[in-house]
């Protein structure tokens, strides 16, 4: 019976009841050793009537073996792998060693885990218990966290028990405190009713309400030693266990040591290892009788992890070495575990063990387990006698640590590798890694300098490696708005004599195109970029980085349709192949194209999903851009609070990493909100301040120039710089809609009425059929305003009605109010001039959430729930839940009716 945990038990009961109603829930129960985490997980299992239960465990000695804990959790449900989409089934089977490892995206396994949990919950609710989560191998932890964030309507409960070493990554947490004195006294009375009053009071005080301490301290032979001990409670408990272990016979202690060293607690492995050490099976029985271990079926486990530490403390070095050597021999069929036992048995350089660990590291890398790979490479380096082998292994460990974002660890490994890697290819890797570390640590200028110096150092021996570093330098400088850095990298790149076989022409041209935009202007740069877009459209699907570049340059030249098509095709490939890490950057391009094409609801869905992916895949550098775009859409819709919140979050990311793209969106968003609300001075101040910083080198600076012009014109101020900036780009773009906006700007600044009207008429004509509804409505609005002010009210009304209709469709509320107000002033008292609520027939875009709209569109296209779930990384039940919510909003009762709706 649990004492003093009533509120925690109620929280678990709520989760279990919700699961029985088809809803999912996740909870991380955290606290110090012995505080009651395992007991609460056991309580959940007791209360899981009518539910399927899966049990997992983090094991300290398996923390470097990829997916070891995930296999332990899912082994009872692996017979359902065949029900998963084939790519997911293959990814999970490869990760768990059930099939050849695949070079899948490391988050693809998380999607497969989500699908498998949902599949297992089809017949009855599912309870998953993961104890000692702080010892999960990182690959398992990542997959489980990814799945946990996307559980919704499957009827799954996922409970973690963990110490502070486990990162919940935003999952709900419940921290356990010590029991109150009354509950502690009850626990102690249950465990040791014979204790005297004084001793009872002493133990309650010493235990600090820790239930395990209340159970174990009475068993300690020398209670007075705890009176004034400075030891922390876990150490006291370990000593208490050590006292219990020390009273056992030598054979039982040896059997306990083998159990402590044997990964996974396989009874056959343990008994065979004991036999090799001359220990009879009865010794393991004595250990079980002592209560220190439990034997269930063919599995042996310690009653508490601190017992393992106590066993280590009482063992001898030579016995540990011998046990590791024997276990390595017994685990020939499990090469990863064998490698770590060989390493543990080594007393000096050992190339056999080092080679086994290196092979294990490569297997881990293939399975996306970079943390495990880095640990194996580093240990292999420690066992290497040859200096060059040591350096290569250290460098490999650094690569994996960098990939996983363990930057301090990567820096330490690089420092150790420096001087040990004499060949050019290895030396070329060092500055690139150092630069990525510097960039990740908020030192972008240092990163740029490292890349330039590294390129200079290797250019004479490996021009291709030098070029790649310069391309990386140019890309970083562009992201940071560092014009001088971009120009310098491009100049050095131009000087390199690259050969066709280097296959770097597209990357080189991309860097040179970006630089020429700054040095020579749009007239020179945009033709280069258009060629890159055309070539990028023909690139094969597997060349994602080149297609990403092509879609980026399509944005630069204003071909938003092409940008969206290239990005969407690449994103579909990524979804089909489970390459989730690459989706976030594609979402940036895709959401940007949707914004410029006036598809604001789609852009909201894309950017929102991208923001979730940045959090789930550990790519925070991209979050600022998503937040900035969402702030821009909130500004269009007049949601001042959300705009300010998102803009502040985007600005915080800029402060942390210096990436300017998100900041450009955020500053533009705040200015656009001011403009829509008629705060023209504030809007102009914001945009002029933006142009005084690194944002002036971002492509958004071209597109907010018309807003700068409008704000200045409203205030009767000149805007020659903003007008020239836009005119240069618009003329070079050759796009009708861009020329239309240019004429609008010229009209706004033109004092002569006749010439202004000529510009406006040209703008309206060019907008027709150009596919930029937002800009067309903006032009119609200001033209109508000008006509009304010039006393041409009847001529103004058609333009103002057109603007109002588009703004209403785009849900651009401040602009709706402006258009409606102008219509009233122009003498229009018809339906278009009254409240928007009077319009009937709200569109699906108006009534559905962005995610519901995504799901409904896919369902209307004939996709099944399973297919939709695989595409959006949701479970089929969650898809069904969203459809269930969407149907009443759309006034439909079946999927067949969706085909008749205008879903955009």
| Structural domain includes residue 265 | no
Q: Who wins on pLDDT, 639 or 239?
A: 639
Mean pLDDT (the chain, rounded): 89
What CATH number should be reported for the domain holding residue 658? Answer: 1.25.40
| Structural domain includes residue 346 | no
| Structural domain includes residue 523 | no
| Structural domain includes residue 733 | yes
Determine contact, residues 844/901, Cβ cutoff 8 Å. Answer: yes
Q: What percent of the chain has pLDDT over 90?
A: 58
State the pLDDT confidence band at 73, using cuts at 50, 70 and 90.
very high
Q: Who wins on pLDDT, 257 or 619?
A: 257
> b/e for 563-588, b at 16 or more Cβ within 10 A?
bbbbbbebbebbbebbbbbbbbbbbb
Express each pLDDT in 882-902 by its tens digit.
998 999 988 888 888 888 887
* DSSP-derived 3-state class of residue 788: helix
CA separation for the pair 8, 28 (Å, rounded): 12
85 CB contacts (<8 Å, ≥6 apart)?
115, 866, 867, 870
Determine contact, residues 556/533, Cβ cutoff 8 Å. Answer: no
* Whether residue 187 sits in one domain with residue 150: no
What CATH number should be reported for the domain holding residue 55? Answer: 3.40.50.300
Determine contact, residues 607/624, Cβ cutoff 8 Å. Answer: no
Q: Who wins on pLDDT, 880 or 834?
A: 880
Q: Is 131 buried (19+), middle (13-18) or exposed (0-12) by CB count in 10 A? A: buried
Express each pLDDT in 702-740 by its tens digit.
999 999 999 999 999 999 999 999 999 999 999 999 999
| Structural domain includes residue 704 | yes
Express each pLDDT in 492-520 by its tens digit.
988 888 776 556 677 777 788 888 888 88
Query: Could you tell me the two tokens for 270?
Result: 């343990």
| pLDDT for res 504 | 67
| Structural domain includes residue 446 | no
| Structural domain includes residue 883 | yes
* Whether residue 206 sits in one domain with residue 124: no
Express each pLDDT in 217-254 by its tens digit.
777 644 443 343 444 556 777 777 888 888 899 999 99
Q: Which residue has the tokens 């291709």?
A: 464
Question: How many domains does the chain fold into?
Answer: 4
* DSSP-derived 3-state class of residue 124: coil
* Whether residue 820 sits in one domain with residue 759: yes
* Whether residue 797 sits in one domain with residue 895: no
CA separation for the pair 359, 354 (Å, rounded): 9
**Which of 315, 256, 310 minimizes the C-alpha distance to 287?**
256
Q: Which of 844, 863, 888 is the last residue of a domain?
A: 844
What CATH number should be reported for the domain holding residue 861? Answer: 1.10.10.10
* Whether residue 892 sits in one domain with residue 831: no
Query: Could you tell me the two tokens for 426?
Result: 């290895």
| Structural domain includes residue 218 | yes
* Whether residue 871 sits in one domain with residue 809: no
| pLDDT for res 220 | 61
**Which of 446, 528, 482, 452 minimizes the C-alpha distance to 661?**
482
- Phi/psi at 679 (5° precision): -95, 75
CB count within 10 Å of CB 794 equals 11
* Whether residue 705 sits in one domain with residue 691: yes
pLDDT of residue 812 exceeding 70: yes
pLDDT of residue 645 exceeding 90: yes
Question: How many CA within 13 A on the CB side of residue 563?
Answer: 25
- Across 859-864, average pLDDT: 90
* Whether residue 93 sits in one domain with residue 142: yes
**Which of 705, 693, 642 minimizes the C-alpha distance to 663?**
693
- Across 150-173, average pLDDT: 94
Q: Which domain holds residue 866?
A: 845-900
| pLDDT for res 223 | 45
* Whether residue 170 sits in one domain with residue 186: no
* Whether residue 863 sits in one domain with residue 801: no
* Whether residue 717 sits in one domain with residue 830: yes
| pLDDT for res 834 | 45
Distances (CA, A) of 560 to 287, 518, 568, 606: 70, 21, 12, 15
Distances (CA, A) of 608 to 171, 202, 623, 633, 790: 18, 55, 10, 12, 44
* Whether residue 146 sits in one domain with residue 206: no
Q: Which of 198, 230, 262 is the last residue of a domain?
A: 230
pLDDT of residue 134 exceeding 50: yes
Distances (CA, A) of 807 to 325, 636, 638, 740, 775: 74, 9, 12, 18, 10
């Amino acid at each position: 019976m649990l004492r003093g945990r009533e509120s925690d038990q109620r929280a678990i009961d709520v989760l279990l009841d919700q699961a029985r109603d088809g809803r999912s829930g996740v909870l991380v129960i955290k606290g110090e050793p012995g505080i009651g985490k395992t007991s609460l997980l056991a309580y959940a299992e007791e209360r899981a009537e009518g539910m399927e239960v899966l049990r997992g465990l983090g094991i300290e000695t398996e923390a470097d073996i990829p997916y070891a804990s995930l296999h332990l959790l899912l082994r009872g449900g692996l017979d359902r792998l065949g029900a998963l989409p084939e790519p997911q089934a293959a990814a999970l089977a490869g990760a768990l060693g059930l099939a050849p490892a695949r070079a899948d995206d490391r988050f693809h396994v998380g999607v497969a885990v989500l699908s498998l949990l949902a599949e297992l919950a089809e017949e009855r609710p599912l309870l998953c218990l993961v104890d000692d989560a702080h010892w999960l191998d990182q690959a398992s932890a990542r997959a489980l966290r990814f799945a946990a964030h996307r559980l919704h309507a499957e009827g799954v409960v996922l409970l973690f028990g963990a110490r502070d070493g486990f990162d919940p990554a935003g999952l709900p947490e419940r921290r356990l405190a010590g029991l109150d004195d009354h509950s502690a006294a009850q626990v102690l009375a249950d465990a040791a009713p014979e204790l005297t009053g004084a001793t009872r009071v002493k133990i309650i005080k010493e235990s600090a309400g820790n239930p395990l301490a209340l159970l174990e301290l009475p068993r300690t032979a020398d209670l007075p030693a705890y009176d004034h001990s400075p030891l922390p409670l876990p150490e006291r408990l370990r000593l208490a266990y050590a006292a219990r272990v020390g009273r056992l016979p030598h054979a039982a202690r040896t059997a306990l040591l083998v159990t402590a060293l044997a990964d996974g607690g396989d009874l056959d492995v343990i008994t065979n290892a004991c036999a090799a050490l001359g220990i009879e099976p009865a010794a393991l029985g004595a250990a079980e009788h002592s209560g220190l271990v439990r034997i269930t079926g063919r599995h042996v486990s310690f009653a508490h992890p601190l017992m393992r530490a106590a066993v280590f403390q009482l063992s001898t070095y030579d016995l540990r070495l011998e046990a590791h050597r024997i276990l390595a021999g017994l685990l020939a069929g499990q090469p990863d575990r064998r490698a770590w036992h060989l390493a543990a048995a080594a007393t000096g350089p050992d190339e056999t063990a080092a080679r086994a660990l290196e092979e294990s590291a490569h297997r881990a890398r293939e399975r996306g387990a970079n943390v495990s790979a880095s640990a194996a490479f580093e240990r292999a380096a420690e066992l290497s006698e040859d200096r060059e082998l040591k350096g290569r292994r250290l460098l490999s460990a650094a690569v994996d640590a960098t990939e996983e974002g363990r930057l301090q660890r990567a820096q330490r490994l690089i420092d150790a590798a420096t001087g040990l890697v004499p060949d050019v290819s290895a030396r070329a890797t060092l500055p690139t890694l150092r630069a990525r570390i510097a960039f990740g640590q908020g030192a972008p200028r240092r990163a740029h300098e490292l890349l330039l110096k590294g390129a200079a150092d290797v250019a004479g021996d490996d021009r291709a490696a030098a070029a790649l570093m310069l391309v990386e330098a140019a890309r970083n400088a562009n992201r940071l708005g560092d014009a001088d850095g971009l120009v310098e990298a491009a100049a050095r790149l131009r000087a390199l004599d690259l050969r066709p076989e280097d296959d770097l022409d597209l990357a080189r041209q991309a860097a040179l195109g970006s630089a020429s935009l700054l040095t020579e202007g749009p007239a020179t740069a945009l033709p280069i970029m258009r060629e890159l877009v055309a070539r990028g459209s023909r690139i094969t699907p597997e060349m994602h980085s080149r297609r990403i570049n092509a879609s980026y340059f399509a944005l630069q030249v204003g071909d938003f349709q092409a940008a969206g098509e290239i990005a969407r095709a690449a994103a579909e490939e990524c979804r089909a192949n489970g390459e989730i890490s690459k989706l976030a950057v594609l979402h940036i391009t895709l959401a940007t194209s949707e914004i410029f094409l006036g598809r604001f609801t789609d852009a909201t869905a894309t950017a929102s999903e991208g923001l979730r992916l940045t959090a789930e895949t550990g790519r925070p550098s991209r979050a600022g851009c998503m937040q900035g775009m969402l702030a821009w859409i909130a500004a269009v819709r007049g949601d001042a609070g959300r705009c300010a919140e998102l803009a502040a979050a985007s600005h915080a990311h800029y402060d942390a990493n210096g990436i300017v793209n998100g900041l450009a969106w955020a500053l533009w968003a705040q200015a656009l909100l001011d403009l829509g609300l008629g705060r023209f001075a504030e809007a102009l101040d914001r945009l002029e301040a933006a142009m005084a910083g690194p944002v002036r080198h971002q492509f958004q600076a071209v597109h907010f120039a018309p807003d700068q012009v409008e704000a200045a014109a409203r205030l009767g101020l000149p805007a020659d710089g903003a007008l020239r900036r836009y005119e240069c780009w618009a003329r070079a773009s050759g796009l009708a809609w861009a020329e239309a906006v240019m004429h609008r700007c010229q009209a706004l600044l033109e004092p002569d009425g006749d010439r202004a009207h000529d510009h406006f008429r040209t703008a309206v004509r060019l907008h027709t059929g150009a596919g930029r509804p937002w800009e067309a409505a903006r032009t119609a609005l200001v033209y109508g305003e000008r006509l009304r002010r010039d006393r041409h009210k009847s001529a103004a009304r058609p333009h103002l009605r057109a603007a109002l209709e588009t703004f209403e469709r785009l849900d651009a509320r401040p602009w709706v109010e402006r258009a409606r107000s102008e219509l009233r002033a122009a003498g229009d008292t018809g339906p278009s001039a009254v409240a928007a609520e009077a319009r009937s027939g709200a569109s699906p875009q108006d009534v559905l959430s962005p995610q519901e709209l995504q799901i409904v569109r896919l369902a209307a296209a004939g996709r099944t729930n399973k297919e939709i779930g695989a595409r959006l990384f949701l479970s089929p039940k969650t898809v069904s839940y969203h459809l269930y919510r969407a149907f009443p909003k759309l006034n439909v009762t079946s999927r067949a009716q969706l085909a008749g709706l205008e879903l955009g």
